[in-house]
Amino acid sequence: MDFDHDTLVAFSKSWGLFYLMGFFICVIIYAFWPSNRKRFTRAKTSILSGEDKPWR
Amino acid sequence: MVAKLTTSERQSAAVILLLVALAGIAMAAAGRNEAMGVHGLIVILFAGALLYPVLSAFYAPEPTEDRQASYYDEPIKVGIALAMGWAIFGMFMGVWVAAQLAWPNLHFDGAWSTFGRLRPTHTTGVIFGFGGNALIATSFHVVQRTSRARLAGQVSPWFVLFGYNLFCVLAVTGYILGVTQSKEYAEPEWYADLWLVVVWVTYFLLYIATIARRKEPHIYVANWYFMAFILVVAILHIVNNLALPISWGSAKSYTIWPGVQDAMVQWWYGHNAVAFFLTAGFLGMLYYYLPIRAGRPIFSYRLSILSFWGITFFYMWAGSHHLHYTALPHWVQTLGMTFSVMLLVPSWASAGNALLTLNGAWHQVRDDATLRFMMAAAVFYGISTFEGSFLAIRPVNALSHYTDWTVGHVHAGALGWVALISFGSIYTLVPALWKRERMYSPALIEWHFWLAIAGTLVYIFAMWNSGILQGLMWRTYTEEGTLAYSFLDSLVAMYPYYIARTIGGAMFLLGTAIGCCNIWMTIRLVPATVPEEADLPVKDAVVAGE
């Protein structure tokens, strides 16, 4: 099989779209997964704790 | 600095510096009287200047305290100082080249001082010198605080910081000597590029190793932005700079990419430099220092994750919008245009997230110029990403490309977004790092803020006017079908705008100089918050900023 410019174009016009959409859906699911909410809330407030020493 | 290192760490520092000096000697020998020989000498001097403090403290007593009990802040402090130094240099060069466009005699008949050689010293000085040092310093700060762990190396942070600055020095001195690859934002030649690869891979490994030893299980979103910045810049830099030198003793090289592919690789690099150097890393700053300064968490953590992956995946495809109406295949241009327009969604998600974080804290924005720096940065980020998506549309690009509109757009992003978020972060960081109660003078921060805003607005309005005027003059035809204006006509019409641009840039430079004074006075004169290593019980957290 010839692997030329047209092959790459065909690939990027078909699978290129699908993997980007697939990835987009995965990110949406991760961001909105209900049990992740607690983790995100903790993450965004934990930086405000004000302590300035590494944890041991 | 050196006294805080163990003997074996001092040995490795000395060995590294000796190897760098040896490489400098080899460059000086191979390059002889050419530019590369001069660079060899600069490398030797740079290594020697750093070797002196290492050797003079070589037999000093070893540190006794438990270093893992504190964060590693010394490289951050030096990084902030270097960033502000490069800001003054880079912005001064910018004002100078802007003035040259209005008054060409300002190159004083030197070959080294012509516009073509000085202009990259401005872009490299502000992007890589100021922006890069600010990114390295803040990333070291953010990764330690959000991981609750000390940096994973003692010598490597210094290697990254000084190695990176050696690259910047080689770049800037090279332009003045006439050394350039002629690729925008990738002008330094092959040996400087190879050195940057070594430095940057070390930076990446150091960052990953620090994340790996984190005590906080969740990796805060700012770290994702910093990691994307480090990783993608490594990839971009290596691919775009694949080149073969004409000999080992020459600064001249030729890229391995032919013709239109070279153009595509260059602008894939160039636009992603905007995306990952000038955006992702600075969004990392925004997502950490804005909540810290405002004392309230980011509006939506979910949105920050969505916009992170949106920016990462969309930006990769947008570079071809720099090559509209060229020999590049039409579908590639369309692809770049489409992704550029889609980019507006994650960009505005970030800008909106930042502004909504401040919703309910507008009194703080009114009273605190440091927070206002970050608020204005988010606004300019929103404006310039909208403008960028708009300019990437092919018919709009037909009017704007090669005109000053592009220059205005870049500066709306660089001054309004990158510089303002950096200053806001630095004003938050300096009192915390040096353990001072506050900045020396809030009034000077106000002066800096308003000079920066006024300078940016003068600059971009001048460039909008001149850019659109240029674009229109270049496409106006007479009834006979010939061009109505010569190039010279359009040049004469630019004169007042070039003067206005110089004034705007000078105002911005003045603000930066005031910022430097304020930081210096803070370190020198403002009393420390608590005596260092005081044996006090842990008090309830006080949020910085009030």
Which residues in chain A touch residue B298, judged by CB atoms under 8 angstroms apart? 44
3-state secondary structure of B254: strand
Rounded distance, CA B450 to CA B369, Å? Answer: 9
Contact residues for B184 (Cβ-Cβ < 8 A; gap 6+)? B123, B266, B270
- Is B175 an interface residue toward A (CB < 8 Å)? no
Q: Per the structure block, which two tokens stand in for B213?
A: 């030893």
What burial letters (b/e) apply to B190-219, b meaning 16+ CB within 10 Å?
bbbbebbeebbebbbebbeebbeebebebe
Name the residue among A40, A52, A54 with its Cβ closest to that of B301.
A40
Residue of B408, B421, B422, B342 whose CA lies nearest to B381? B421
Residue of B243, B189, B195 whose CA lies nearest to B31? B189
Flag whether the ipTM exceeds 0.95: no
- Is B68 an interface residue toward A (CB < 8 Å)? yes
Residue of B128, B119, B133, B116 whose CA lies nearest to B76? B133
The pLDDT, as a whole number, for residue B488 is 94
The pLDDT, as a whole number, for residue B537 is 58
| Residue A30: CB atoms within 10 Å | 13
Name the residue among A9, A39, A44 with its Cβ closest to that of B297.
A44
Separation in Å, CA of B478 to nearest CA in chain A: 42
How many interface pairs between A and B have CB atoms less than 8 angstroms apart?
76
The pLDDT, as a whole number, for residue B337 is 97
Cα B458 off chain centre by: 22
Chain A CA closest to residue B432: A52
The pLDDT, as a whole number, for residue A5 is 81
Question: In a mutagenesis test of the B interface, which of A12, A40, A45, A55 is the best target, namely the one with the most B β-carbons within 10 Å?
Answer: A40
Do the Cβ atoms of B216 and A28 come within 8 Å? no
Name the residue among A20, A39, A56 with its Cβ closest to that of B218.
A39
Sign of the Cα pseudo-torsion (B89, B90, B95, B100, in order): positive
What stretches in chain B show pLDDT beneath 50? 546
Do the Cβ atoms of B220 and A39 come within 8 Å? no
Name the residue among A46, A47, A50 with its Cβ closest to that of B542.
A50
Do the Cβ atoms of A54 and B305 come within 8 Å? no
The pLDDT, as a whole number, for residue A2 is 74
**Phi-psi category of residue B324: left, alpha or beta, with phi > 0 → left and psi -120 to 50 → alpha:** beta
Contact predicate B41/B99, CB 8 Å: no
The pLDDT, as a whole number, for residue B30 is 95
Residue of B343, B323, B350 whose CA lies nearest to B389? B343
The pLDDT, as a whole number, for residue B546 is 45
Instruction: Tell me the residue type at A42.
Output: R
Contact predicate B20/B46, CB 8 Å: yes
Query: Is the overall model pTM greater than 0.80, yes or no?
Result: yes
Sign of the Cα pseudo-torsion (B383, B384, B389, B392, in order): positive
Do the Cβ atoms of B148 and A55 come within 8 Å? yes
Rounded distance, CA B450 to CA B441, Å? Answer: 15
Name the residue among B215, B216, B306 with its Cβ closest to that of A27.
B306
Which residues in chain A touch residue B309, judged by CB atoms under 8 angstroms apart? 23-24, 27
Do the Cβ atoms of A49 and B288 come within 8 Å? no
The pLDDT, as a whole number, for residue B400 is 96
Provide the 8-state DSSP code for B68.
Answer: G
3-state secondary structure of B37: helix
| Residue A46: CB atoms within 10 Å | 14
Name the residue among B69, B288, B305 with its Cβ closest to that of A31.
B305
* Residue A51 pLDDT grade (very low, low, confident, very high; cuts 50, 70, 90): confident
Cα B157 off chain centre by: 18
Residue of B302, B269, B76 whose CA lies nearest to B184? B269
Residue of B209, B190, B194 whose CA lies nearest to B163? B194
Rounded distance, CA B87 to CA B513, Å? Answer: 9
Rounded distance, CA B107 to CA B116, Å? Answer: 11
Which residues in chain B touch residue A41, judged by CB atoms under 8 angstroms apart? 301
Residue of B342, B277, B263 whose CA lies nearest to B309? B342
Do the Cβ atoms of B309 and A54 come within 8 Å? no
Contact predicate B35/B179, CB 8 Å: yes
Do the Cβ atoms of A48 and B216 come within 8 Å? no
pLDDT value at A18 more than 90: no
Residue B305 to residues A28, B60, B225, B345, Cα–Cα distance (Å): 9, 47, 10, 13
Separation in Å, CA of A20 to nearest CA in chain B: 8
pLDDT value at A56 more than 80: no
Q: Which residues of A, range 26-55, sit inside 8 Å of B by Cβ?
A: 27-28, 30-32, 39-55
Which residues in chain A touch residue B295, judged by CB atoms under 8 angstroms apart? 48
Do the Cβ atoms of B301 and A54 come within 8 Å? no
The pLDDT, as a whole number, for residue B533 is 56
Do the Cβ atoms of B296 and A40 come within 8 Å? no
The pLDDT, as a whole number, for residue A19 is 86
- Is B261 an interface residue toward A (CB < 8 Å)? no
Provide the 8-state DSSP code for B281.
Answer: H
Rounded distance, CA A17 to CA A36, Å? Answer: 28
Strand partners, B244: B254
Separation in Å, CA of A1 to nearest CA in chain B: 23
Instruction: Give residue for tokens 């909008």.
Output: B464
Query: Average pLDDT of chain B?
Result: 95
Do the Cβ atoms of A48 and B541 come within 8 Å? yes
Residue of B172, B158, B95 whose CA lies nearest to B127? B172
Provide the 8-state DSSP code for B496.
Answer: H
What burial letters (b/e) apply to B115-137, b meaning 16+ CB within 10 Å?
eebbbbbbbbbbbbbbbbbbbbb
DSSP letters spanning A1-56: ---SHHHHHHHHHHHHHHHHHHHHHHHHHHHH-TTHHHHHHHHHHHGGG---S---
